[in-house]
């Protein structure tokens, strides 16, 4: 930090200092920060409760994930089998939606597929009642 001691010549009147001295401000802020860091653990109070003990519960096995593929022509495939129409897809989705636990549906859309085809499949999945839907993509490797 720099300090101004005078104007330089002995006969001149001292000028008003136009620089803001931030050193006292920084000192005060550091002291306040230290005070808060010391007092916060003292202030926090918790209600004494007896927490339940954790036990290991056998996890349920996840059902097979369902993969729906959409090719560039807009054809829809349910686990590698071609689906005839949207009603058949809806029937497949409704059958999967009642399974406990409900399986996830992964959508693999071709890069050249129309968004309309993917949107219709998503709408059909929503109508069927499946909650978990994800998209499968390939990572970008820098080449096209």
pLDDT at 143 over 60: no
Looking at residue 52, what is its pLDDT?
Answer: 63
Looking at residue 39, what is its pLDDT?
Answer: 82
CATH code that applies to domain 66-135: 3.30.420.270
pLDDT at 94 over 90: yes
pLDDT (tens digit per residue) in 43-69 = 666 666 666 666 666 555 466 889 999
Dihedral angle sign, alpha carbons of residues 136, 124, 95, 100? positive
pTM of the model: 0.55
List the 76-78 sheet strands across, edge first.
Answer: 81-82, 76-78, 66-70, 105-109, 133-135
Distance of CA 78 to the CA centre of its chain: 29
Residues in contact with 120: Cβ distance below 8 Å, sequence separation at least 6, in sequence order: 86
Looking at residue 20, what is its pLDDT?
Answer: 79
């Amino acid at each position: 930090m720099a300090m101004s001691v005078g104007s330089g010549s002995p006969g001149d009147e001292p000028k008003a200092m136009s620089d803001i001295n931030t050193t006292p401000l920084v000192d005060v802020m550091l002291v306040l920060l230290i005070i808060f860091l010391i007092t916060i653990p003292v202030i926090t109070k918790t209600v004494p409760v007896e927490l339940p003990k954790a036990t290991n519960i056998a996890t349920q096995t996840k059902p097979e994930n369902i993969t729906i593929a959409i090719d560039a022509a807009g054809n829809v495939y349910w686990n590698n089998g071609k689906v005839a129409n949207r009603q058949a897809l809806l029937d497949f989705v409704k059958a999967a939606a009642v399974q406990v636990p409900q399986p996830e549906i992964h959508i693999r859309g071709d890069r050249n597929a129309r968004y309309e085809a993917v949107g219709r499949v998503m709408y059909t999945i929503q109508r069927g009642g499946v909650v978990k839907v994800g998209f499968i993509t390939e990572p970008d490797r820098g080449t096209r």
